[in-house]
């Protein structure tokens, strides 16, 4: 960027870099938390739908049951989801799950764990779908 760029341009570029929406959240999970694309898809699917079996994950994403199960188990190891039974999984709250996965990624990659606004934005964008999926059970 040119040294004479106006602060407004810098702010817009910074703002675009930090923006996350439901269309880009999987991409941001891959780039910021170093999830695989299938891990990102499974995590977002569970956040949006609530408790899911490996079989339902497989059907929704058109993958094999074994890939769904292996991926869900890897997300448990990363701290993003929990198991309800051996084949049923649920996400913890996105603010906890995303920061937990970020912390573990920092440990794996030997990166200092510190506040990351993009990671915070990922968790914020997933809050509403998470809450919406879980309030349907309480109605």
E strand segments, 44-93: 52-53, 81-83, 88-91
Q: How many helices (H) and strands (E) does the chain have?
A: 7, 3
3 state DSSP class of 114: coil
Quote the radius of gyration of the chain (alpha carbons, Å).
17
Domain count, the chain: 1
CB-based contact 25:44 (threshold 8 Å): yes
* Residue 107 placed within a domain: yes
* Residue 11 placed within a domain: no
* Residue 13 placed within a domain: no
pLDDT in single tens digits along all 139 residues of the chain = 444 444 443 333 344 546 788 889 999 999 999 999 999 999 999 999 999 999 999 999 999 999 999 999 999 999 999 999 999 999 999 999 999 999 999 999 999 999 999 999 999 999 999 999 998 655 4
CA torsion, ordered 105, 129, 46, 138, to nearest 10 deg:
130
Task: Look up the domain containing 30 and give its range.
Answer: 24-134
111 backbone dihedrals φ, ψ, rounded to 5°: -110, 140
The pLDDT value recorded for residue 3 is 44
* Residue 129 placed within a domain: yes
Question: For residues 52 and 29, what is the distance between their CA atoms, to the nearest angstrom?
Answer: 20
* Residue 3 placed within a domain: no
The pLDDT value recorded for residue 135 is 87
CB-based contact 74:66 (threshold 8 Å): no
Q: For residue 105, give the CATH number of its domain.
A: 1.10.10.10
């Amino acid at each position: 960027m040119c040294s004479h760029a106006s602060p407004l341009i810098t702010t817009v570029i910074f703002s675009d870099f930090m923006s996350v929406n439901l269309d880009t959240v999987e991409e941001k999970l891959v780039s910021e938390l170093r999830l695989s694309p299938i891990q990102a898809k499974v995590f977002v699917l569970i956040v949006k739908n609530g408790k899911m079996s490996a079989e339902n994950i497989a059907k929704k994403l058109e993958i094999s049951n074994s890939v769904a199960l292996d991926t869900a188990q890897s997300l448990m190891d990363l701290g993003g989801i929990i198991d309800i039974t051996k084949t049923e999984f649920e996400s913890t709250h996105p603010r906890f799950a995303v920061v937990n996965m970020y912390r573990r990624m920092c440990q794996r990659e030997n990166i200092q764990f510190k506040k990351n606004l993009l990671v915070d934005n990922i968790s914020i964008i997933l809050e509403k779908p998470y809450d919406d999926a879980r309030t349907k059970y309480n109605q």
